Amino acid sequence: MAINAMDNSKFCSFINILVFCFLCSNIVCNAAIGLTLKPEAYDVLDFGAAQNGSADSSEAFLEAWDYVCSKETEKVSLIVPENETFLLHPVTFNGPCKAKEIEFQIQGKLISPISPKTWEGHDKGKWITFSKVSGLKIKGNGEINGRGWGWWNQSCRDHRGLAMIFQSCKNSSLSEVRMVNSAQTHVLITGSDDIIVEGLMISAPETSPNTDGIHLSSARNIVIRNSVIGSGDDCVSIGDQTSNVDISRVKCGPGHGISIGSLGRAGNYVQVQNIRVSKVVFNGTTNGARIKTWQVGKGFVRGVTFENLIFHSVKNPIIIDQNYCDVRGACKELQTGVRISDVAYRNLWGTSSTAVAITLNCSRSVSCTGLLLHSVWLKSAMSGKNVTSTCTNAHGATVGVVHPAPCLQHHL
């Protein structure tokens, strides 16, 4: 019996040790998981940023950026705290960074210098730039205010500042932030790959010149979705050397619509392809789905789809202008041109505020080919008025009901 009691005692001790080890291992695992879920976070105030926009915080922001950029970690956060305003002169946040992911949380407000004179000594062409950064996640419910009204009456030759630039960035995103009153374009994505823009609210007066919402140039694999954009220029404009772009669920207006172009102004070789624009609502815009190329350009625009679009009192719901030149309305015929092909318009409907709802103005020397109008219904925004189509050197086909009556030359 003594031996059995001793054995039982040893067995119980062994079980207790196992339970203790199990509990300890759980604690260690949970701690490790906690560290993964809660990345290192740093507040710009800790680096001397001035509150209430009372002084320039550029140096503090740059110091904070350099610190988080140098962290050898999976994920790190830099926080612009809510209920605070920070004045920034032109700044460039440089990469590459050691951190695999940097979360830039904009909860407060960022403001630019209010007068063009205060930009003296700085690069006037840009305000907030992220250069050569991978894994950047800009997010938050804060505001980026370009306070650009002092620039809008000045010549565009003054190189007004673009509010935010992604330059040579990869695998990054911009989400949920409110951007207002940029001196020029609100967001420029250039030389960058795999960028997602979503949940943005971009706003500038209809009369503010060249204040595009988002402009793409030499960009690949770009997603723009679930955003509201109103400005004095294009809601989204697509520049040269751009491919694999998906724009969806965007409310556009006021503004100049969603434009591919202008392209080829310098007589260069254009390459734009695989562009999809879907589920966009245009409210009172100058254009809807637009492609615009200069006569002197070369190269191609191909593989473009506009689908499931709604137009409310839009001046030019569907427009291609392949004969763009410096003298509006007096462009002479040239032998050059950007070749436009394989462009589909599917399930488009709404109202035009002008008599011509569809304009397909293509070049005689390099005509548009492979155009498709599939289930398009456009009528006048004015009761009792009719709308028409106009085509020049436009080749393609129609499927389903198309109104106004199409004018395509029916061969691909």
Q: Domain residue spans in the chain?
A: 39-221, 234-412
For residue 77, give both structure tokens. Answer: 């956060």
Q: Is 411 annotated in the active site?
A: no
What is 39-221's CATH number? Answer: 2.160.20.10
Bridge partners of residue 271, in order along the sequence: 300
Query: First and final CA of the chain: distance in angstroms?
Result: 99
Please check the confidence at residue 1 and state whether its pLDDT lies above 50: no
Say if CB 256 and CB 285 are below 8 A apart.
yes
- In three-state secondary structure terms, 53 is helix
Rounded to whole angstroms, how far apart are CA atoms 177 and 131? 19
In the structure, what pLDDT confidence band is assigned to residue 123 with cuts at 50, 70 and 90?
Answer: confident
In the beta sheet, which residues pair with residue 76? 40, 102
> What's the mean pLDDT when you consider all of the chain?
91
> pLDDT tens for residues 149-159?
999 988 666 66
C-alpha 184, offset from chain centre:
14
User: Pick the residue with more confidence: 54 or 358?
Assistant: 358
Q: What is the mean pLDDT of residues 384-404?
A: 97
Catalytic residue among 122, 159, 215, 256: 256
Bigger pLDDT: 36 vs 178:
178
Mean pLDDT, to the nearest integer, of 378-398?
97
Q: List own/partner pairs for 56-61 with CB under 8 A and 24 or more apart.
A: 56/87, 56/88, 56/89, 57/86, 57/87, 57/88, 58/88, 58/89, 58/90, 58/91, 61/86, 61/88, 61/91, 61/93
Topology match between the domains 39-221 and 234-412: yes
Answer yes or no: are the C-beta atoms of 110 and 143 closer than 8 Å. Answer: yes
Would you state the pLDDT for residue 159?
65
Yes or no: say if 234 and 213 are a contact pair by the CB < 8 Å rule.
yes
- pLDDT of the residue at 6: 43
pLDDT at 2 over 60: no
Query: How confident is residue 11, by pLDDT bands cut at 50, 70 and 90?
Result: very low
Q: How many residues does the chain have?
A: 412
What is the pLDDT confidence band of residue 395, given thresholds at 50, 70 and 90?
very high
pLDDT at residue 35 above 50?
Answer: no
Rounded CA separation 328/398 (Å):
30
Distances (CA, A) of 198 to 149, 178, 222, 306: 26, 11, 11, 19
Determine the 3-state secondary structure of 156 from DSSP: helix
How do beta strands 126-131 and 242-252 pair? Answer: unpaired
- Above 80 in pLDDT, residue 364? yes
Asked whether the beta carbons of 264 and 299 are under 8 A apart, the reply is: yes
Model's pTM, two decimal places? 0.90
User: What torsion, rounded to 10 degrees, do the Cα atoms 113, 119, 125, 129 define?
Assistant: -50
Tens digit of each residue's pLDDT (9 = 90 or more) over 258-281: 999 999 999 999 999 999 999 999
Decide which of 14 and 320 is more confident.
320
Fold assignment, 234-412: Pectate Lyase C-like (2.160.20)
pLDDT of residue 182: 97
Residue 332: how many CB atoms within 10 A of its CB? 8
Q: What is the pLDDT of residue 351?
A: 99
